[in-house]
Amino acid sequence: MTARRDPDRLIRAFLDEGPDELPDHSYDAVRAHIDHTRQRVVIGPWREPRMSNFARIGIAAAAVLAIAVIGVNLLPGQGPGVGQGPSPSPSATATPSPTATPSPSPVAMALPFSGDLGAGTFYIEDRFITNAERFTFTVPDGWKTDSDTFITKNGEEPGEVLLAPWVVSHIFSDACQWEDTRQSLLDAGETVDELVNLLVDQEGRQASAPTEVMLGGFPATRIELTVPADLDTATCTNGNLRYWPGAGPDMSSGLCCNPAGNTDVVYVVDVDGNRLVLVARHYPESSAEDRAELQAVVDSIEIDP
Amino acid sequence: MQRALVDQAKRGDREAFDALARMVGDRCMAIAYRILRDADRADDAVQAALIMAWRELRTLRDSDRFEPWLHRILTNECYAEARRRRRWSTQIRLLPMPGQRESGEISAINDRDQLDRAFRRLTIEQRSVIVFHHYVGLPLTEVADRLGIPVGTAKSRLHHATNALRASLEADARSPSSSQERLA
């Protein structure tokens, strides 16, 4: 005969298991970090400490417009309904005129974990992914994010377009034959040039000539990396190309898996000495409109270092 | 004691913050591990949370609220860790466990394995609510406050998560043997 099990007690017992001490070296690492980190200066009690420049500008513009509208309406002989006021309405409630009401400012929202985004401005605040304080971009309707910080349109369809920021610490010397990591995993250094040179030399994709551009207000190098149309990716390790692991290196994550003919436009950005990598991926089947949207998203990027 | 250290740290005293971190770090590690179920990632999340706390400390208006404030930062760092974990979801695969369990092994181990699998299938937000409610021992209103979500949302997440965990135990009780797989 067995004793009857109490699920809640089992759940609590399960939660009680596991480590409950932070190792000493972790405290030391935190201390070493804060020794070189200044605290954020707070000016005034109501300042939103993490507001982006974009949002600041938007709110400031809305405030200026609102003040202007109020000022116009308070001028003698310029009350509501005069000239640009609302049309007469049977309703007792005055309806604001479209011309007198400022349209809502696009305030950035944190990128959700998954789902359709809808048209709007989104941000990522995760230095492990963007190497910046805040990474902001604007998308039109039709884009979604799926299971993390990638954003895509027509995800998992032949015409997909995709945008993903990365912090890259290592790359595989051969994107196709990447199994023996001791030989194929290369330290990508810290500068833009170091990584770009490794990308140019990476086996398994064809690289365009790097060009100097600006992205989000910071200098960047742009390079197009295309999987040769005649490459049989089934011959690659695990049947997939793999370009780099997660930063660290974290071999459990990384950028991978595009088919022959696919192109990654890679921007390696110097954000005040921190390197950010941005991948804008399109496929041969991606429509011109979607590629233009992808470029527009890239052009909308703002980076708060 | 803690409030004095917070006030000193707010004025830029790194020694005070170091002492503060050592006062709350173990608790943070325990919480982060139970949300993430991975000691290395929990360690990373705690370190990131403490560094973030140092940077943002002057934005904390009420020094007595340091720990709830830190726990919210910690939870966000756990979410970020979970996101990073999922960045290459194609790498997640089922592998056979090395060796088979002895047939006479106590059912508690099966319960634990079932709970572990069920817990990993919960969303990271549901896990957080479970941990703050069942492990930290906070009432739902306080859980909601700490996670920055409405009480109704906390209640709903707790309800679904608890049901999922209970169901996993009941399914195990009906099954003659549990699966010998784990997530890689």
Give me the pLDDT at residue B109, please. Answer: 64
Q: What are phi and psi of A204, to 5 degrees?
A: 105, -20
- CB–CB contact B51 A126 (8 Å): no
A100 touches A73 (CB < 8 A):
yes
Residue A239 C-alpha, separation from nearest chain B C-alpha, in angstroms: 12
Give me the pLDDT at residue A106, please. Answer: 62
pLDDT tens readout for residues A15-55 = 988 898 999 999 999 999 888 877 776 543 322 233 333 33
Distance of CA A245 to the CA centre of its chain: 18
Strand extents, DSSP E, chain B: 94-96, 181-183
- Measure the N-to-C terminal CA separation of chain B; round to a whole number of Å: 43
Q: Which residue of A has its CA nearest to B24?
A: A22
Interface check B162 vs A, CB under 8 A = yes
A192 touches A168 (CB < 8 A):
no
CA distances from B67 to A176, A195, B156 (A): 48, 41, 25
Band (pLDDT 50/70/90 cuts) for residue B86 is low
- Give A96's DSSP letter: P
B11 touches A38 (CB < 8 A):
no
Q: How far apart are CA A115 and CA B137, in angstroms?
A: 32
- CB–CB contact B135 A15 (8 Å): yes
Mean confidence (pLDDT) of chain A: 76
- Number of Cβ pairs closer than 8 Å across A and B? 143
Give me the pLDDT at residue A293, please. Answer: 96
Give me the pLDDT at residue B115, please. Answer: 82
Residue A62 has pLDDT above 50, yes or no: no
Residues 92-131 (B) with a CB less than 8 A from some CB of A = 107, 111-112, 115-116, 119, 130-131
Walk me through the domains of chain B, giving residue ranges and CATH numbers: 1-92 (1.10.1740.10), 97-184 (1.10.10.10)
B167 vs A1, residue with greater confidence: B167
Length of chain B: 184
Walk me through the domains of chain A, giving residue ranges and CATH numbers: 22-107 (no CATH), 109-304 (3.40.1000.10)
Give me the pLDDT at residue B85, please. Answer: 61
Could you tell me which residues come within 8 angstroms of residue A285 by beta carbon, excluding any fewer than 6 positions away? A158, A159
Report the percent of chain A where pLDDT is more than 70.
71
Band (pLDDT 50/70/90 cuts) for residue A181 is low
pLDDT tens readout for residues A224-260 = 999 998 888 878 887 778 888 877 776 656 787 777 8
pLDDT tens readout for residues A197-216 = 999 999 999 999 999 999 99
To test the contact with chain B by mutation, choose from A25, A39, A130, A250 the residue with the greatest count of B C-beta atoms within 10 A, namely A39
Residue A199 C-alpha, separation from nearest chain B C-alpha, in angstroms: 20
Give me the pLDDT at residue A259, please. Answer: 76
- Could you tell me which residues are beta bridge partners of residue A223? A266
Could you tell me which residues come within 8 angstroms of residue A8 by beta carbon, excluding any fewer than 6 positions away? B134, B162
- CB–CB contact A12 B130 (8 Å): no
- CB–CB contact A40 B55 (8 Å): yes
Give me the pLDDT at residue A10, please. Answer: 82
pLDDT, mean of residues A118-129: 87
- CB–CB contact A37 B84 (8 Å): no
Q: What share of chain B is helix, strand, coil (3-state, %, to 5)?
A: 75, 5, 20
Residue B83 C-alpha, separation from nearest chain A C-alpha, in angstroms: 5
Residue A304 has pLDDT above 80, yes or no: yes
To test the contact with chain B by mutation, choose from A34, A48, A125, A156 the residue with the greatest count of B C-beta atoms within 10 A, namely A34
CA distances from B135 to A8, A14, A23, B144 (A): 12, 10, 21, 15
Nearest CB to B26: which of A21, A147, A250?
A: A21
B74 touches B53 (CB < 8 A):
no
ipTM over 0.85: no
Interface check B34 vs A, CB under 8 A = yes
Band (pLDDT 50/70/90 cuts) for residue A82 is very low
